[in-house]
Amino acid sequence: MKKRELLKAIAATAAIGLLSPLVQASEKEPVRIGAVSSLSGVFEQQGQEVLRAIEFAVEEANANGGVDGRKVELEIADDESTPDGARRSAEKLAREGHNLLIGPISSSISMTLSQNLDRWDAMYVVVASKMDALTGKSCHARMFRTNHNDVMDLAMMKEWLKTVKEKRFGIIAADYTWGHSSAEFFEKTAAELGKEVKVSLFAPLGTKDFAPYVAQLRDADIDAVWVAMVGRDAISFVKQADSFGLNDSKRLIGHALIFQYLIDATGDATRNVWGNIGYGADIDNARNRRFVAGWMDKFGRVPTENEGQAYNGIQAIFQGVRLAGSTEPGAVSKALENAEYETIYGPALMRGADHQLQIPDYIGQVTKVDGKLRPVIERAYPVELYANPSQECAL
Q: Which domains does the chain have, with CATH numbers?
A: 31-148+281-359 (3.40.50.2300), 152-277 (3.40.50.2300)
E strands present in the chain? 31-37, 72-78, 100-102, 123-126, 143-145, 168-174, 196-203, 224-228, 251-254, 274-277, 340-343, 346-350, 357-358, 361-369, 372-381
Nearest to 269 by CA among 258, 279, 280: 258
pLDDT tier, 23 (very low <50, low <70, confident <90, very high otherwise) = very low
% residues pLDDT > 70 (the chain):
93
Stronger pLDDT, 170 or 189, i.e. the higher one: 170
Nearest Cα to 109, choosing from 41, 37, 173, 174? Answer: 37
Q: Grade residue 3 by pLDDT with cuts at 50, 70 and 90.
A: very low
- Nearest 5 degrees, angle CA 306-CA 308-CA 312? 115
Mean pLDDT to the nearest integer, 44-63: 97
Question: Is pLDDT at 10 greater than 60 in this prediction?
Answer: no
pLDDT in tens, 341-383: 999 999 999 999 999 999 999 999 999 999 999 999 999 999 9
Q: What average pLDDT does the chain have?
A: 92
Rg, the chain, Cα only: 23
| pLDDT confidence tier of residue 85, bands split at 50, 70 and 90 | very high
d(C-alpha 215, C-alpha 93), whole Å: 45
Structure-derived torsion over alpha carbons of residues 48, 53, 54, 59, reported in degrees to the nearest 10 = 130
Q: What is the pLDDT of residue 230?
A: 86
pLDDT exceeds cutoff 90 at 237: yes
Asked if residues 288 and 345 have their Cβ atoms less than 8 Å apart, the reply is yes
Question: Going edge to edge, which strands form the sheet with 361-369?
Answer: 196-203, 168-174, 224-228, 251-254, 274-277, 361-369, 372-381
Confidence (pLDDT) at 185: 86
CB atoms within 10 A of CB 155: 18
Q: Name which of 187, 182, 155 is nearest 168 in CA terms.
A: 187
**pLDDT band at residue 392 under the 50/70/90 scheme:** very high
The residues, ordered by sequence, that sit 6+ positions from 271 with a Cβ below 8 Å of its Cβ are: 366, 367, 368, 373
Residue 32's DSSP bridge partners are 73
**What is the 8-class DSSP label of residue 300?**
S
Q: Is residue 5 over pLDDT 90?
A: no
Q: What is the pLDDT of residue 267?
A: 86
Determine the Cα angle at 104 with ends 311 and 240, to 5°. 100
In DSSP terms, which residues pair with 197 in a beta bridge?
169
pLDDT in the model for residue 364: 96
pLDDT for residue 26? 54
**How far apart, in Å, do the first and last CA atoms of the chain sit?**
65
List, for residues 192-201, the tens digit of each pLDDT value: 999 999 999 9
Residue 13 has pLDDT above 50, yes or no: no
* Spatial separation of the C-alpha atoms in residues 46 and 15, rounded to whole Å: 48
Task: Say what percent of the chain tops pLDDT 90.
Answer: 86
DSSP class per residue in 41-94: STTHHHHHHHHHHHHHHHHHHHHTT-BTTB-EEEEEEE-TTSHHHHHHHHHHHH
pLDDT tens digits, one per residue of 286-304: 999 999 999 999 999 999 9
pLDDT, one tens digit per residue, over 100-153 is: 999 999 999 999 999 999 999 999 999 999 999 999 999 999 999 999 998 899
Give residue 259's identity as a one-letter amino acid code: F
Question: For strand 346-350 and strand 72-78, is the pairing parallel, antiparallel, or unpaired?
Answer: unpaired
Angstrom CA distances, 219 to 38, 153, 228, stand at 36, 29, 20
